């Protein structure tokens, strides 16, 4: 590790293990690892993670009442210098799997927003209208503002409905370059 190397946590959230968004994430990871960063993947689509119950047992700053992979997720996020949110576009928002991760920030919101964490967003969508990514981008920007995240870049990959479609675009290269830029 060099002096500026970071621990980067990539949170993948597609039911397609070898789908479009994870292809973009792989390219990001290749670029980041070439720069000497340590990358860990948390694949929520294959984790045991349940939606926030809103029980307020945690008071936004304490243990969660649920005994699932949320504890591991919290530890991995709080250990990381940067977090990358990776998702297919589902009805103009993030996947339910990724939304579950974000809602589970609740029990450590106080710790997380004081860390001023670096973040990035990678989204794969089928369509390529100029408004396809408007809502998901706005949601992410608002989340960054509220949580004091410091955005390092967004890959808003339109026209990436399948792996062959994605491979024909320049978005894999852009994801690689984002990783290399860190």
Spatial separation of the C-alpha atoms in residues 88 and 94, rounded to whole Å:
7
Quick check: 90 binds ligand FMN (CB under 6 A)? yes
- Report how many residues bind ligand FMN under the rule CB under 6 A: 18
> Which of 16, 35, 111, 115 contacts ligand FMN by CB under 6 A?
16
Question: With respect to ligand FMN, which residue has the nearer C-beta, 22 or 107?
Answer: 22
> Considering the complex, what minimum distance in angstroms separates the CB of residue 100 from ligand FMN?
15
Q: Hey, CA dihedral for 39, 125, 18, 99, is it positive or negative?
A: positive
With binding defined as CB under 6 A, does residue 85 bind ligand FMN?
no
Query: For the chain, what is the largest distance between any 2 Cα atoms, rounded to a whole number of angstroms?
Result: 48
Place of tokens 């009805």: 91
Query: Using CB under 6 A, which residues numbered 153 to 182 contact ligand FMN?
Result: 160-161
User: Nearer Cβ to ligand FMN, position 87 or 119?
Assistant: 87
Q: Does 30 bind ligand FMN (CB under 6 A)?
A: no
Using CB under 6 A as the binding rule, whether residue 27 contacts ligand FMN is answered as no
139 binds ligand FMN, rule: CB under 6 A: no
Q: Does 107 interact with ligand FMN (rule: CB under 6 A)? A: no
Alpha carbon distance 53, 45 (integer Å): 19
Beta-carbon contacts of residue 12 (< 8 Å; ≥ 6 apart): 21, 22, 25, 41, 42, 43, 44, 45, 86
- Angle, CA 176 vertex, CA 167 and CA 98 arms, to 5°: 80
Residue from the set 88, 153, 172, 179 that interacts with ligand FMN by CB under 6 A: 88
Which ranges of the chain would DSSP assign to H, the alpha helix? Answer: 20-34, 70-79, 96-103, 109-114, 134-147, 163-167, 171-180
Which residues of this chain interact with ligand FMN, rule CB under 6 A?
A: 14, 16, 19-22, 88-92, 124-127, 132, 160-161
């Amino acid at each position: 590790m060099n002096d500026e190397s970071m621990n980067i946590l990539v949170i993948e959230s597609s039911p397609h293990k070898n789908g479009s968004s994870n292809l973009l994430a792989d390219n990001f990871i290749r670029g980041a690892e070439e720069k000497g960063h340590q990358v860990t993947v948390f694949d929520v689509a294959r984790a045991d993670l349940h939606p926030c119950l809103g029980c307020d047992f945690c008071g936004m700053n304490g243990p969660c009442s649920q005994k699932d992979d949320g504890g591991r997720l919290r530890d991995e996020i709080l250990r990381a210098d940067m977090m990358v949110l990776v998702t297919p576009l589902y009805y103009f928002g993030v996947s339910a799997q990724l939304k579950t991760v974000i809602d589970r920030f609740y029990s450590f919101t106080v710790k997380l927003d004081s860390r001023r964490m670096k973040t990035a967003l990678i989204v794969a969508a089928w369509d390529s209208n100029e408004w396809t990514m408007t809502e998901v981008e706005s949601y992410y920007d608002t989340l960054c503002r509220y949580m004091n995240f410091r955005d390092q870049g967004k890959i808003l990959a339109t026209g990436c409905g399948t792996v062959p479609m994605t491979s024909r675009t320049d978005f894999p290269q852009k994801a690689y370059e984002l990783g290399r830029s860190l």
